[in-house]
Amino acid sequence: MTPSRAPGRGRLLIALLFALFALCAPPLRADVDPKLQAAYRRLWSQVEPANLQQTVQTLASFGSRVAGYPGDAKAADYVLQEFRKLGLQDVHDEEFDVTVPVDKGDATITIHNLPSNGAAASDLSYHLYPLWPDLVRTSQLPVGGLTAPLIYVGNSKLANFNGQDVEGSIVLANFNSRSEWLNAPRLGAKAVIFIAPEETMRGEAEAKFISIPISIPRFWISSADVAPLLAATAGGRKVECTLKCDMPWETRKARNIFGYIPGTDPKLRNQIIVVEGYYDSMSVVPALAPGAESACGIASLLELARIYKQNPPARTVWFVATSAHHLALQGIREYLERHLDEWTPPSFAEAAMARENVLRTALWLGALLAIFVIWFASRALRGKRNGATKLDAFSWVLAVLSLVMLGLNAGFYLSSHDHPLRRPPQIYLWAGLDLTSQTRGVGIFYKGWFYDMREDIQGRFSDIARVCRENAEKIGTTLGFDNKRVFADGVNPVDGKNWRNYIPGKPAFDSEVVTMAQGNGVTFASIDDARALVDTPLDTPDRVNIANLAFQTKLLACEFYNIFNDTNEPGDVNAQRMPITDPSKWSRMALQGGFATLKGRVATFNPKKSFMAYTDPALRNSLVVVRNRTKSFMGVRGNMIQAVFDGKDANHRNMYEFHGIAPLTAFGWNKPTTVAAYHLDTRPDHLGEIDYAPDLGVTGAKFIPLDVMVTTAVKEAPIVLFRCVPTAIYDLVDQQSLRALSTIDVLDGATNGEPRMYGYAIDPQDPAMVGSYVEDMAVIFSQPGSRLKIMMGVGPGAIRLLLINPVYDPNDPFNHKHDPNYNPEGKGYLVGGNPNEAQNADITGPVAMEPYNPKVEIARSGAIYNTPLHVAEDMWKLDDYRMKRLAKYRIINEGISQLHDLAAKAIERTKEAQADKDWERFYWTSRDAWGYESRAYPDVQRTAVDVVQGVLFYLALLLPFAYFGERLLFGSYDLRRQLGYAAIIFIVIFYIFSQVHPAFDITMNPVIVLLAFVMLALSSIVIALISGKFEEQLKQMNRQVSGIHRA
């Protein structure tokens, strides 16, 4: 019987265990206080989607809200009016300056001699919109415009260029062409016009502007206006057209807006919570920036202000609306700069001088003065009674302290005491809103990508994020949704995720500035939304999902209820709590961040004025840039740009001042801040071109670096510019590793040395963040009318690109025809401009303009187009010359010769494709040629170096040979004669050696070999002397320490 009952007892025991587990297990949903549930339901129901929609539509209707544009000013007036209408207190605005590229609205394309409906040919004009600048280089054109043939290339694939004359043309292309549109300037196009698409995305927009100041005028044309242009170019017809555009940089006004709701709880009302949002917009086409998605945050802020005006919070709530968010977070940076000193606690001296503390301070100062005077007098009298004729040391200390206290008392009584004690606001939390509408989810974040500060600050925000996550669960329980789907904790690593995993992109948050300044700053941002239409002209209200935005606003209204009203006093640990118990501790320089200011002046080197930099009047209106490795953070421009201004006197001209710069302590490693400055030409024929750029030579950045270590709250960094002309080069990708070329050397064409003044701009790629998109181009700045050579590589000693412009005939490699221009090592490319316009040309004297062939001196046009072909040709000619010199002495490498021959055949095919206008084949064959020759180049160079190193070894053997020869032939007893005869023997043998050894012919200059050997010998002697002296000193120290003397 027992065995038959055992299974029943087992099942009963399992059932009891399950029941016990069910009773002891925590509930699946958090228990929510009924009063809190009622508050959640009330706030949830009070959010009006219609209000959100009205705000978004109204702001988008103002036109472009790029900071400084008229639409931005209208938006500021609207927000200001809404704050007052809602009944917020102390509503006011605060102006600040922004530097923006301004579309004057007169950009046009005029098609010449266009037939229309059988009528006589006429000129027809259509409106264009210039695109966002390439760093500082806008689409500004000369006063007379740009006249060139127009060609259409569709999606900009190379096949679409086939059969067309690209160089010198204006290209009409589809906007949705990714980065393929760069094929146009690579092949020599002068400007690009993009056709407005029906649909696009942010990635397309970000690919249409470059992070370096390269001159590629780019425009947007509406789909309604493009039909005549497409018809005119149909069938490959050649149509002449003229582009005109006026797009200068201007300094304009933007505004931040403030209002607040006072707290109702006597204990909590002094604890301030800030809710902040931005109302400006951004677009790759600045004049077409409706910014509907960008308006979601400010729409939510206005709705939250309306709700909490009806439901007064326990804590005081500030509402701050900022502009210029998309201009490198300038709005919030300027707001903090204006108020940061007000928010820091008063210093001891400031508190002592306040009206409330005058009597207490006076008593303390008087008492201390009396104590030190009496103490000093008593010691002096005691010493006199004891017969001392001099004061002892302590008496002198007391005398000094007495004088110090006398000075403090005098200063105190001479100062004003009519100001009250400053009581800074106690800001406990700064909550920024960065909302979009293509998702219902929202998350809390403590940092973003703009500064990408150190991660060890996460602990400061862990508790507030945890509490918000727990409150989201309570809200979800009350209102019936899964909080894990709609709320993300971007502070604590929940479910293996960190803050980088919730938003598909690199957002920049205003609260980053607050956190860096040591404030308690967080951002409530929409998650799982790539902000696909942000930064595009298609970001219109009809594409905004108001239902999603309303859901996020409702969720935030409930979250803020706890932040505004929950206690933070110590007590019942089970009570609903706001975990932040201390206000923000603002600081301009702290151990884990700060809010630094970078300022200085823009100058030139003029030895007639000053051996230091000179604030040249020609540099007025220069643009200063604080560089960022990322050009755009989901619509927020990464580079800070500011026009220079004049200070109070003549010594403060062309000044700049950036606020909110990250100090070194914000990163935890020595990360420099890189600055640059550029001046744009104002001459009618060169309008908008860069005519002054940072000097990287010995008179510029070698003396005053552009990489600044911000180690103090205020850092000064002058920037030295020089008169220049820009030259663009393209396709800077290593054909072996397919990586972007990262190192660059600019050489003077005449001396092969570093130019005295030069500069360059190249994509500031972060090796840790390099993605699939690479800006494979650079701009070289050189003095007008000079010659330059360019070397680039992927690391030290790994040269992959040479642009040297050699004059070399492979059929006459050793110049038996005596060509006066023969120069196989290159004479350099002649750049544009007149050498008499160069920096300090008045000191060096007039220079005759060098005659040149425009077909050969291609850099005069401002760019070296078809760069891969020129690189392949230049490297091939140099290698061919070197290989033939080696071959004279039977030094041959079959592998190198095969690569060299393959490159020659590829160059020939490339030229055939160029003649046939087969640009697709031209592209691939030119890269084949470059790839082959870049593989051969280091081996050819290494072979020549090996030969020279061999002769250096033989020369080293000549030293003892010369010595023993002197002993054998002369046997002098005088040391000077011994050295003289040995030197004569060495020189004679060296001369004989130079006539027979190939190394001297390979180097083209025997003196170079001799100098290299002399330097090697002298350095070896010096090293031997130093080593011997060092060893002798070590032995002497050993004897002194150990007392042991070795025989």
- Domain assignment present for residue 229? The answer is yes
**Among candidate residues 869, 724, 736, 733, the one with its CA nearest the CA of residue 785:** 724
Task: Name which residue leads in pLDDT, 349 or 67.
Answer: 67
Q: 526 with 615, same domain?
A: no
H helix runs in 201-295, sequence order: 202-206, 227-233
Give 208-232 pLDDT, tens digit per residue: 999 999 999 999 999 999 999 999 8
- Domain assignment present for residue 419? The answer is no
Per-residue pLDDT at 813: 86
For 721, counting Cβ atoms within 10 Å of its Cβ (0-12 exposed, 13-18 middle, 19+ buried), the class is: buried
Per-residue pLDDT at 6: 44
Task: Name which residue leads in pLDDT, 391 or 132.
Answer: 132
The mean per-residue pLDDT over the stretch 163-174 comes to: 96
The band of 495, judged by pLDDT with boundaries at 50, 70 and 90, is confident
Q: 643 with 544, same domain?
A: no
Q: 341 with 442, same domain?
A: yes
Determine the Cα angle at 912 with ends 910 and 918, to 5°.
80
d(C-alpha 584, C-alpha 516), whole Å? 11
- Domain assignment present for residue 332? The answer is yes
Count the Cβ atoms, other than its own, within 10 Å of residue 545: 16
| Axis-axis angle for helices 393-414, 358-385 (nearest 10) | 150
- Domain assignment present for residue 933? The answer is no
Q: 308 with 239, same domain?
A: no
Q: Where among 247, 275, 299 does a domain terminate?
A: 247
Per-residue pLDDT at 67: 97
Q: 265 with 333, same domain?
A: yes
If one counts the domains in the chain, the total is 5
Q: Where among 692, 716, 740 does a domain terminate?
A: 716
Asked if 346 and 422 count as a contact pair (C-beta separation under 8 A), the reply is: yes
- Does the pLDDT of residue 346 top 90, yes or no? no
The mean per-residue pLDDT over the stretch 56-60 comes to: 97
For 1024, counting Cβ atoms within 10 Å of its Cβ (0-12 exposed, 13-18 middle, 19+ buried), the class is: exposed
For 255, counting Cβ atoms within 10 Å of its Cβ (0-12 exposed, 13-18 middle, 19+ buried), the class is: buried
Across 32-36, 170-174, 565-569, the highest mean pLDDT is recorded for 170-174
d(C-alpha 304, C-alpha 72), whole Å? 22
* Angstrom distances, CA of residue 746 to CA of 137, 205, 757, 776: 22, 32, 10, 17
The mean per-residue pLDDT over the stretch 30-35 comes to: 82
What is the C-alpha radius of gyration for the chain, rounded to an integer number of angstroms?
37
- Does the pLDDT of residue 610 top 70, yes or no? no
For strand 673-680 and strand 690-694, is the pairing parallel, antiparallel, or unpaired? antiparallel
- Domain assignment present for residue 86? The answer is yes
Give per-residue burial for 883-896: e unless 16+ CB within 10 Å, then b.
bebbeeeeeebeeb
Q: What is the DSSP string of 733-791?
A: B-TTT--B--EEEEEETTTSS--SS-EEEE----TTT--S----EEEEEE-TT-EEEEE
Q: What is the DSSP string of 553-565?
A: HHHHHHHHHHHHH
**Among candidate residues 746, 433, 713, 472, the one with its CA nearest the CA of residue 597:** 713
Task: Name which residue leads in pLDDT, 966 or 480.
Answer: 480
The mean per-residue pLDDT over the stretch 954-979 comes to: 78
Q: 135 with 231, same domain?
A: yes
* Angstrom distances, CA of residue 108 to CA of 100, 124, 237: 21, 10, 21
Task: Name which residue leads in pLDDT, 117 or 853.
Answer: 853
Q: Which distant-in-sequence residues (6+ apart) come within 8 Å of 7 by Cβ?
A: none
Per-residue pLDDT at 19: 47
Q: 212 with 279, same domain?
A: no
The CATH code of the domain that includes 281 is 3.40.630.10
User: What are the phi and psi torsion angles at 690 (to 5°)?
Assistant: -75, 125
Mean pLDDT computed over every residue of the chain = 88
Q: 569 with 629, same domain?
A: no
Determine the Cα angle at 205 with ends 202 and 208, to 5°.
155
- Does the pLDDT of residue 1012 top 70, yes or no? no
Q: What is the DSSP string of 649-700?
A: STTS-SEEEEEEEPPGGGTTS--PEEEEEEEE--SGGGTT-EEEEE--STTT
Q: 357 with 447, same domain?
A: no
Q: 118 with 92, same domain?
A: no
Per-residue pLDDT at 108: 97
Q: Where among 551, 586, 621 does a domain terminate?
A: 586
Per-residue pLDDT at 147: 96
The band of 738, judged by pLDDT with boundaries at 50, 70 and 90, is confident
- Three-state SS for 953? helix
Give 810-836 pLDDT, tens digit per residue: 988 888 788 888 999 999 999 999 998
- Domain assignment present for residue 847? The answer is no
Give per-residue burial for 849-863: e unless 16+ CB within 10 Å, then b.
eeeeeeeebbbbbbb
The mean per-residue pLDDT over the stretch 886-912 comes to: 91
Q: Which distant-in-sequence residues (6+ apart) come within 8 Å of 213 by Cβ?
A: 133, 134, 135, 136, 137, 678, 690, 726, 761, 779
Asked if 713 and 589 count as a contact pair (C-beta separation under 8 A), the reply is: yes
**643 strand-pairing partners:** 623
d(C-alpha 693, C-alpha 761), whole Å? 9
Per-residue pLDDT at 815: 83
The band of 615, judged by pLDDT with boundaries at 50, 70 and 90, is confident
Sheet holding 777-782, edge to edge: 759-762, 777-782, 725-730, 863-864
Per-residue pLDDT at 119: 59
The band of 965, judged by pLDDT with boundaries at 50, 70 and 90, is confident
| pTM recorded for the entire structure | 0.88
d(C-alpha 828, C-alpha 788), whole Å? 5
- CA-based diameter of the chain, in Å? 128
d(C-alpha 754, C-alpha 99), whole Å? 35
- Domain assignment present for residue 446? The answer is yes
Q: How many CA atoms lie within 13 A of 901 on its CB side?
A: 6
Asked if 587 and 601 count as a contact pair (C-beta separation under 8 A), the reply is: no
d(C-alpha 346, C-alpha 354), whole Å? 10
Per-residue pLDDT at 970: 80
d(C-alpha 644, C-alpha 975), whole Å? 68
The CATH code of the domain that includes 158 is 3.50.30.30
d(C-alpha 331, C-alpha 278), whole Å? 8
The band of 1011, judged by pLDDT with boundaries at 50, 70 and 90, is low
Q: 490 with 560, same domain?
A: yes
Q: 121 with 243, same domain?
A: yes
- Domain assignment present for residue 124? The answer is yes
- Does the pLDDT of residue 807 top 60, yes or no? yes
- Does the pLDDT of residue 576 top 50, yes or no? yes
Asked if 962 and 992 count as a contact pair (C-beta separation under 8 A), the reply is: no
d(C-alpha 173, C-alpha 193), whole Å? 6
Domain span at residue 311 reads 54-97+252-345+427-586
**743 strand-pairing partners:** 793
